[in-house]
Amino acid sequence: MKYVDEYRDGKLARAIAATIAAEVRPELSYRFMEFCGGHTHAISRYGIEDLLPANVRMIHGPGCPVCVLPVGRIDDAIKLARRRDITLCTYGDLMRVPGSQGSSLLKAKAAGADIRMVYSTLDAVRIAQAEPGRNVVFFAIGFETTTPPTAMAILAAQKKGLSNFFIFCNHVLTPAAIQNILESPDVRALGNVRIDGFVGPAHVSTVIGTRPYHAFAEEFEKPVVIAGFEPLDVMQAILMLVRQVNSGRHEVENQYIRAVTVDGNLKAQDFVAQVFEPRDSFEWRGLGMVPNSALRLREAYARYDAEKVFAIETVQAEDNPACECGAILRGVKKPADCKLFGTLCTPETPMGSCMVSSEGSCAAHWTYGRFRDYARQETQRHEFEQKAAS
Amino acid sequence: MCLAIPVQVTELLDDDMARVTLDGVSKVISLALVEDVRIGDYVILHVGYALNKLDPGEAGKTLALLDEAARVTEGARP
Amino acid sequence: MNANPKPGVARLKFRKLDIMNGRVDLSHGSGGRAMAQLIAGIFHEAFANEWLAQGNDQSVFGVPAGRMAMTTDAYVVSPLFFPGGDIGSLSVHGTINDLAMSGARPLYLSASFILEEGFPLADLQRVAQSMGEASRAAGVPVITGDTKVVERGKADGVFISTAGVGLVPAGLDLSGDRARPGDAVIVSGSMGDHGVAIMSCRQNLEFETRIISDSAALHELTAAMVEACGPSLRLMRDPTRGGLAATLNEIAQQSQAGIRIEESAIPVKPEVAAACELLGLDPLHVANEGKLVVFAAPEAAQKLLAVMRAHPLGRDAAIIGSVVEDSHHFVQMTTGFGGGRIVDWLSGEQLPRIC
């Protein structure tokens, strides 16, 4: 695959790993947060951790729109789907996210709800056109990458004169989430979670450009490197962050120059601005209410707004009290720190959304990386035994 | 977030749509979010839409930078 | 060995079916003339063997000395017709393969059909013909069958349930709990073809690809492997639902050992890799219907590999890893990139991702 395989070259990876190892200062520890769930997945799937020196640690951030969707909104979607007149269209990622009382879209479908998995909003619009007797609601989630396709769906529905197409809008904004993490008491206070820099999201940035990240770099004095999606992109970005930390810089750098520009995709931004407006605040699972972090449809498009048309009143639902998703999404805790991890909470029986989405910290760790927990335990036990013997 | 992949445009269709391929697998997607796309161009595909054009020149630069980073420790490596 | 049915049995005569426009209806399942007409017109025609022509509810055959293997399976694939096969040929290949994995020589099959009211006779004929051809090509006849009809909406066109019996060579004892540390792990060819072929037909996932299902009967390949390396083989399994990942994890659990594999050694066709990239799927979790995984003593690995590659269905065979001591029974993989990860069971159904 062109423009893909070249950035997965194992030989280059080892060489860059050697460079990173040579350039890190042994007395420093480098803690970088990759914000984007896609990067979390890439790091786990390719085993990038194994190629980094011990004093470089990646902290997984909340850039997984499935993970941060509050339980109450899943419950709303299930309620919508249970109505006999509604066909709920959704991306595959949402099918197994747990709602209240162990419910999920997958289970609701098994019980007879008309829920259809689609690859694109285009498919949902097509369904609405083909089945005028059904009210087709598209369960819209995602950061700035996925918002333009939703905007286009509404505009397409408008152009085709469809009166049976609706959006249940849960789009969220990246800069607000990063801000929330950086301002959280855990991060600001010394000695809790120290983040030395950010690996910025790849495809969100193709849409919003690199401009929005300058505010963080300046205010919080943290370097940000926008990285492409492939493992070599991530490694190069880590090298760039190490170099910034070593030279005391906190700039915004762009590693993903083949797809990201300073301005981003202005055409897409315009479509989004036409259809959506910011909400004052929105609940994020694990982060609580975050101001200026989400979008809703503008008044002009109210007829497509499922929340208005179907009078949705979101009830805040509680997570399992032992669930550590909130702390994990902030990078304060690791999956292995959660008592439920691997016992009550597994990909088959997810308790919180960090386990459901394959990008969630817990799912990624379980699916690709949990063997390291045992290796660590065994190393520690071995060291302990050696000490006891001597 | 965002599973997106570079694909090549092989056919331009009506209604701002196009056929794209990735190693022999083709799909029909929307070009509504991009401009000036020609057959042979590479675009970043996400949920059925092209989000951006991929810049081959910049892609080449990235590979060159990767090579450079790889060579930093060349002499020192065992 | 094979008891031949009585020669010269008169065939019962029935009126011809309207294959072109006819549909299955409830009378076809009621045991009356309509059902007999359907069975003769479609199934006897397609399978064309003397066992079925006898028209009994059972078929009799001699039992050879030794051990027999028996298997049963059900086929509910949708769509019924897909690039590279259909539910009919799939059911023949799949049942033969389950027998072949024990090293057995498949002898006979049975096939039972659950038909949905309204199912076009033309499609039923197509499925039956395809089964007949697959069965003849493999040399394994369908010697007994059954037909039922259920109301519209209660079956996806047709469900096929099969059973198969075979003969296991003396001294061969293949089983999932026999893998030992040091054993070589070999796959017979590219992973993920069947699942991708099926997915390309699914609604709302439409993509065009030249990938066809790898559905095939593996008994001749396994016979060659057993003949050349029988005593060195530990087990064979075909990675169907859940893909290679499920099979390796099953065996790790059964054998109470770990498995270590190299991603770069696993054959995957570029188009299959591309389709998986587009949909966010892992080829290791995608189903195969004409491939097998074999665990063998390390000293026999090279010879076994050569024998497999000499067969058309094993041309792309590759050694992908080995069995190790591991109290956690992990299947660990070194990625093409150089880092490590585990290859876990598939969680739930594999759904295409956007994230």
Mutate to test the interface with A, among C260, C268, C341, C351 (most CBs of A within 10 A): C341
My answer on whether A114 and A131 are in the same domain is yes
Would you say B33 and B49 are in contact if contact means Cβ atoms under 8 Å apart?
Answer: yes
What is the model's pLDDT at position A372?
Answer: 84
Does A108 lie in the same domain as A236? no
Using CB atoms, which residue from B22, B24, B46 is nearest to C277? Answer: B22
Residue type, C200: S
In terms of residue numbers, what domain contains A94? 71-165+266-309
Per-residue pLDDT at A354? 82
Chain C CB contacts of A347 under 8 Å are 347-348
Looking at the structure, tell me whether residues A107 and A53 fall in a common domain: no
For A89, the closest chain C residue by CA position comes to: C204
pLDDT for residue A97? 85
Is the domain defined by C26-168 classed in CATH 1.10.287.3510?
no
A302 and A239 share one domain? no
The string of pLDDT tens digits covering residues C251-290 is 999 999 999 999 999 999 999 999 998 888 899 999 999 9
Nearest Cβ partner for C204 among A45, A119, A346: A119
Same-domain status, A147 and A15: no
Would you call A331 helix, strand, or coil by DSSP?
A: coil
Q: Identify the closest residue of chain A to B34 by CA–CA distance.
A: A267
**Strand ranges of the sheet holding A197-200, from the earlier edge strand across to the other edge:** A56-63, A30-36, A197-200, A224-226, A252-254
One domain for residues A149 and A76: yes
Q: A368 at the C interface (CB within 8 A)? A: yes
Which residue is closest to B28 within chain C, CA to CA? Answer: C207
Q: Cβ–Cβ of B70/A19 closer than 8 Å?
A: yes
The pLDDT assigned to A333 comes to 85
Compute the C-alpha angle C237/C240/C241, nearest 5°: 130
CA distance C278 to chain B (A): 7
Positive or negative, the CA dihedral C244, C246, C250, C256 is positive
Q: Please, are residues A260 and A253 in contact by the beta-carbon 8 Å criterion? A: no
| Sheet hosting strand C67-75, strand order edge to edge | C67-75, C158-168, C105-116, C142-150
> Do residues A94 and A209 share a domain?
no
Q: What is the pLDDT of residue A285?
A: 80
A116 and A250 co-located in one domain? no
What letter would DSSP give residue C5? P
| Pair C283, C268: CB distance under 8 Å | yes
In degrees and rounded to multiples of 5, residue B3 shows phi and psi of: -75, 110
Which pLDDT band holds residue C200 (cuts at 50, 70, 90)? confident
Could you tell me the CATH superfamily of domain C184-342?
Answer: PurM-like C-terminal domain (3.90.650.10)
DSSP code per residue over B3-57? --EEEEEEEEETTTEEEEEETTEEEEEE-TT--S--TT-EEEEETTEEEEE--HH
Residue B65 has pLDDT above 70, yes or no: yes
Chain B: closest CA distance from residue C198 (Å): 14
Question: Which of C170, C178, C139 shows the shortest CA–CA distance to C68?
Answer: C170
Q: Whats the size of chain C, residue-wise?
A: 355
Q: What is the pLDDT of residue C354?
A: 59
What is the band of C202 on the pLDDT scale with cuts at 50, 70, 90?
A: confident
Instruction: Please give the average per-residue pLDDT across C294-314, as a whole number.
Output: 98
Residues 269-298 of C with CB under 8 A from A: 270, 273-274, 277, 279-280
Chains that touch A (3 or more CB pairs under 8 A): B, C
pLDDT < 70 regions, chain A: 185-193, 390
Query: CA nearest C286: which of C159, C190, C188, C176?
Result: C190
Task: Give kind and range of the element (H or E) at residue C126.
Answer: helix C121-138
Nearest CB partner across the interface for B1, out of A21, A37, A259: A37
Q: Are residues A126 and A179 in the same domain?
A: no
Amino acid at position A334, single letter: K
Does CATH place domain B5-71 in 1.10.3720.10?
Answer: no
The number of folded domains in chain A is: 3
ipTM of the modeled complex: 0.91
> For chain C, first and last CA: distance in Å?
58
Contact criterion met (CB < 8 Å) for C270 and B23 = yes
Determine what percent of chain C is predicted with pLDDT higher than 70.
Answer: 92
Q: What is the pLDDT of residue B41?
A: 96
Domain ranges of chain B: 5-71
User: Which residues lie below 8 Å from residue A385, measured CB to CB, with a gap of 6+?
Assistant: none
Full DSSP string of C201-223: TSTT---B----------HHHHH
Contact B46 C354 (CB under 8 A): yes
Q: What is the residue extent of each domain of chain C?
A: 26-168, 184-342
Looking at the fold, whether A228 and A371 belong to one and the same domain comes out as no
pLDDT band at B1 (very low <50, low <70, confident <90, very high): very low
Distances (CA, A) of C347 to A83, A348, A356: 28, 6, 9
Q: Which residue of A has its CA nearest to B33?
A: A268
Residue A131 covered by a domain: yes
Q: At what angle do helices A121-130 and A147-159 cross, to 10 degrees?
A: 20
Name which of A6, A39, A116, A117 to mutate to probe chain C: the one with the most chain C Cβ atoms within 10 A of its Cβ. Answer: A117
pLDDT at residue number C135: 97
Q: Does one domain contain both A154 and A206?
A: no
Provide the number of CB pairs (under 8 Å) joining chain A to chain B.
149
pLDDT score recorded for residue A162: 97
Question: Does residue A62 belong to the interface with chain B, where contact is any CB pair within 8 Å?
Answer: no
Answer yes or no: do A48 and C277 touch at CB < 8 A: no
Q: Is residue A261 part of a domain?
A: no
Quick check: is A385 in a domain?
no
Q: Do A142 and C342 touch (CB under 8 A)?
A: no
Which residue in C30, C162, A267 sits closest to B31, CA to CA?
A267
State the nearest Cα–Cα gap between B40 and chain A, in angstroms.
12
Query: Does some domain include residue A278?
Result: yes
Please answer yes or no on whether C340 and A38 come within 8 Å at the CB atom. Answer: no
